[in-house]
Amino acid sequence: MDLQRAMVFSSWVLSLLIIETTGYRDQLFQPLEAENANAMTMVMERGLQTRRPEHKNAYATMMYMGTPRDYEFYVATRVLIRSLRGYHVNADIVVIASLDVPLSWIHSLEEGDGAKVVRVENLENPYMKQTNFDNRFKLSLNKLYAWSLSNYDRVVMLDADNLFLKNTDELFQCGSFCAVFINPCIFHTGLFVLQPSMEVFRDMIHELQVKRDNPDGADQGFLVSYFPALLNQPLFRPTYNHSTVLTGHFRLPLGYQMDASYYYLKLRWNVPCGPNSVITFPGAVWLKPWYWWSWPVLPLGLSWHHQRRYTISYV
């Protein structure tokens, strides 16, 4: 009899635990589902709002999950942010982070690095079934959110693998869209200047929905297709009067996106058309500068590690 009562009591307790656990699980996931459902609607209506913007311009980068190298790019993003702060840029630093980026990372970016993080729903990539599609770029279209950063007059949008050599605040003088042609015919989207515009952002989302022509299925191909006439635009030349802001589209001098491979032609920089300001590493993933095996053969990796050492260190 005692055994039977014990079994009944145990079954009752187990039932309560199941009900409570199910209720807790529903409470845990319901806000995230609601956030996913409402996030895009809010952005389309009023843009991405940063908390307490301190400057009229911003440097921005993005972070999303779902690749084998998420943590490595998180570290690279932190080094990028700290190096920009070290050059005393007169701008906010914004991270466009997908909703699934760990909260501990968000805390480090905000509290440790001084970035302003805005969280977004991943934009669906309609090009994933293209034969030449590289799956590591499936969420790179999140970069389009930069046009919805409506708190700012100008935004310099950056990939995490940029290595800054100096302050580049003069870029905020540039027009509504400005980018560098690393390839003689195709501009590079690792760094570009834009004027936030909800009209442009909504049109870009529409172009995704109708599946605008996109040669590589990533942000690079989409933006090259969206701004097809940039090659014919004038070269940007900053003025000493930083209050002057240009309108229209411009090509940026190569010195704002010096492809690391150019360095190895003569083991020195020789980019005379404009300031030598930013190094980029657009090649294979395994040649990114933060991997330890890159620097014995590719010494520019040492420059990146030097910045890491004096920003977030290796602890």
The whole-number pLDDT of residue 261 equals 84
Q: In this structure, what are the phi and psi dihedrals at residue 185, rounded to the nearest 5 degrees?
A: -115, -15
* Closest listed residue to residue 254, CA positions, set 231, 230, 227, 276: 276
Dump pLDDT digits (tens) for 205-260. 999 999 999 999 999 999 999 999 999 999 999 887 777 899 999 999 999 999 98
Cα angle: 192, vertex 196, 199; to 5 degrees: 125
So what's the pLDDT on residue 239?
A: 84
- pLDDT value at residue 144: 98
C-beta separation of 228 from 185 below 8 A:
no
Can you give the pLDDT at residue 33? 45
Helix/strand/coil for 77: helix
H helices, E strands: number in the chain: 7, 10
Residue 123 in contact with residue 208, Cβ under 8 Å? Answer: yes
User: In angstroms, rounded to a whole number, what is the distance separating the alpha carbons of residues 258 and 278?
Assistant: 6
DSSP per residue over 245-284, as a string?
---SEEEEPGGGSEEHHHHHHHTS----SS---EEE--S-
Fold annotation for 47-309: Spore Coat Polysaccharide Biosynthesis Protein SpsA; Chain A (3.90.550)
User: Cβ–Cβ contacts within 10 Å for residue 40, how many?
Assistant: 15
- DSSP 3-state percent helix, strand, coil across the chain (nearest 5): 45, 15, 40
Segments in the chain below pLDDT 70: 1-39
Q: Shortest CA distance to 227 belongs to which of 219, 217, 238, 216?
A: 219
The 163-164 sheet, strands edge to edge: 163-164, 278-280, 258-259
- Rounded CA-CA distance 175/4 in Å is 80
Domains of the chain by residue range? 47-309
Q: How far apart are CA 172 and CA 92, in angstroms?
A: 12
